[in-house]
Structure formats: structure tokens, C-alpha cells
Amino acid sequence: MKKILVLCTGNSCRSQIAEGYLRHFGGDDVEVFSAGVETHGVNPRAVATMKEDGIDISGHTSNNLNEYRHLLFDYILTVCDHASEVCPVFPGNAIRVHQNFPDPAKATGSEEDIQASFREVREQVKQFCREWILSIC
């Protein structure tokens, strides 16, 4: 079983979405955690956007990366440039993987525009997670 930690800045959108898809696509072959450099709470729009695609992340919590410093991971996936730049060294030999995604929480405009941004990022994360998990499992 591969143990994966997904990191972003606030553990509110991108890392939560990635955690949901990695669990979905990886099934019993993975154990997935997500955390942030900071904790901003799980974004309700991220929850709603994932629900549209049949993935329930409503039970996820926003966690700080320090909560997982004692665990050994096979992979650490950073999903934003900021998290990649400040990611600390974890014990063990975790392979670091980086894929930057836009932050949908920074979207502006009408409600439709913001929802469209969340859906676009969701699809980008979904595609990456599906392809990446197949390459490691």
C-alpha cells in the first residue's frame, strides 16, 4: 500500500480535491492524507464541486502539515507552487512530486464564474490524479 501526503497552502480546495480523487482511483492500494502549510478549513465550494462528480469529501478536515511530520510517506504531492517551495523535509525517503494547479478560491466574478473555476480545477486535478495513480500503483 502506497502512503501519500497531498500538500497545498491552506488545505481547503486543491489538496482536498486531490485527496478525494486519489482515494477514489487508488482504492485499497493507497492511503491518502492531505494537509496545508496553513489551515483554512475545507471550502464548501470544493465539497459541492466534488459532489457533482460523485465524490463525497464532506467528512474531510483541514489539517496542518505538522500533524503528519512523524509519519513515513512513499510520496509527497504538492499541488501548488507555494507548498512546493516551503515543504519541509519529512523523515524517510518519500518521493516528492509537484503539479501546480490554479487556486479556485481566488476566482472572482459572478457565482457562475466562480463555479466554473472550481469545475475547471476539479477536472485538471482529476485528470492528473487518474494518470499519476496509475503510474505508481
Instruction: Determine phi and psi for 90, rounding to 5 degrees.
Output: -100, 155
Do 104 and 13 contact (CB within 8 A), yes or no? yes
Query: Is 8 designated active site?
Result: yes
CA angle 55, 40, 11 (to 5 degrees): 50
Which residues fall within 8 angstroms of residue 89, CB to CB, at 6 or more apart?
Answer: none
The C-alpha R_g of the chain, in whole angstroms, comes to 14
Euclidean distance between CA atoms 67 and 61, whole angstroms: 12
**Sheet of 95-98, strands arranged across:** 30-36, 2-8, 75-78, 95-98
- Determine which one of 8, 13, 129, 137 is catalytic: 8
Active site residues: 8, 80, 87
